[in-house]
Amino acid sequence: MISIRNVRKDFVKGDVKQLVLKNINLSIADGDFVTIMGPSGGGKSTLLYLLALLDTPTTGDICIDNNNMGKLSEKAIEAFRGKNIGLIFQNANLISALTPLENLIIAMKDKSSYREKKRKGESLLEKVGLQHKKNSNSASLSGGEAQRVAVVRALVNNPRIILCDEPTGALDSVNSKRVIELLMNIRKETGCTLIIVTHDKDIGALGERKIILKDGEISELS
Ligand SMILES: Nc1ncnc2c1ncn2[C@@H]1O[C@H](COP(=O)(O)OP(=O)(O)OP(=O)(O)O)[C@@H](O)[C@H]1O
Ligand SMILES: [Mg+2]
């Protein structure tokens, strides 16, 4: 269970303070499938960064399984994130010196053998139609291909919580559908929590819970 309690986030630039998240209260149960939509600049990525424990609220708390994440050390947060959270950003951020397959293998935290990791990486790449690119130069991939690698990279450690910030922003409709279906199937198979920020109305409509974030405030469609 993720609990966001009275979360407020402001950014200060010089003398100007911008209140980006006003007073967010939201509980997300294990296994929920939540989509978050809303106008550009409304605070969606900011909220996702807080959930990914990459940033901290100005005031308020983020609790996961009744643990107040603000009370953990950096090291504990890092370990928690590695084990529990899969993150997909709009930019793929692959390591360009490594092949797609190596990008997946290096992200794997379990102690299985290299051969097993390789097999797992190959099977994930196959799920997004990129088995033929596994040994390519990552820098030579198209934006959409790189994005699909980044999607499966977020899945390598079987995360309990998958956070996606416009995961299909760089994809055509066929690959967009493929990525969303993959994420939804993973959720069905593993019972993980899936949170997707999107500007795509069709994807937004798929969420079992649909949240709108606008001017730093949330509302939930019923
Ligand atoms: N690190 C930061 N420093 C200063 N201001 C920031 C920072 N991150 C976000 N902001 C500001 O917070 C506001 C919300 O940004 P955010 O990225 O959360 O919006 P968004 O809803 O994700 O928009 P989009 O749909 O365009 O991705 C913006 O006005 C942005 O300029
Ligand atoms: Mg954003």
Q: What is the CATH number of the domain that holds 130?
A: 3.40.50.300
Nearest CA to ligand 1 atom 28: 41
Question: What letter does residue 191 receive in the DSSP assignment?
Answer: -
The residues pairing with 195 across neighbouring beta strands, listed in sequence order, are: 34, 163
Determine the structural domain holding residue 170 and report its residue range.
2-215
Evaluate whether 6 touches 61 at the Cβ level (below 8 Å): yes
- Residue 217 C-alpha to ligand 2 middle, in angstroms? 15
Within a domain: 221:
no
State the Cα–Cα distance between residues 159 and 192, nearest whole angstrom. Answer: 7
Give whole-number Cα distances, 125 to 28, 31, 90, 200, 217, in Å.
30, 24, 18, 24, 38
Pocket test for ligand 1, best of 22, 44, 47 (most atoms within 8 A of CB): 44
C-beta of 43 in contact with ligand 1 (< 6 A) = yes
Within a domain: 80:
yes
Within a domain: 144:
yes
The residues pairing with 211 across neighbouring beta strands, listed in sequence order, are: 36, 220
Question: What letter does residue 142 receive in the DSSP assignment?
Answer: -
- Each residue's pLDDT expressed in tens, for the chain with a length of 222 residues: 999 999 999 999 999 999 999 999 999 999 999 999 999 999 999 999 999 999 999 999 999 998 999 999 999 999 999 999 999 987 888 999 999 999 999 999 989 999 999 999 999 999 999 999 999 999 999 988 999 999 999 999 999 999 999 998 888 888 898 889 999 999 999 999 999 999 999 999 999 999 999 999 999 998
C-beta of 57 in contact with ligand 1 (< 6 A) = no
Within a domain: 43:
yes
Within a domain: 79:
yes
Domain count, the chain: 1
Pocket test for ligand 1, best of 21, 37, 45, 195 (most atoms within 8 A of CB): 45
- Residue 68 C-alpha to ligand 1 middle, in angstroms? 24
Ligand nearest to the CA of 199: 1
C-beta of 103 in contact with ligand 1 (< 6 A) = no
Q: In the prediction, which pLDDT does 25 show? A: 97
Within a domain: 222:
no
- Residue 54 C-alpha to ligand 2 middle, in angstroms? 14
Give whole-number Cα distances, 126 to 89, 155, 168, 182, 209, in Å.
21, 13, 18, 11, 30
Q: In the prediction, which pLDDT does 92 show? A: 83
Evaluate whether 180 touches 172 at the Cβ level (below 8 Å): no
Within a domain: 89:
yes
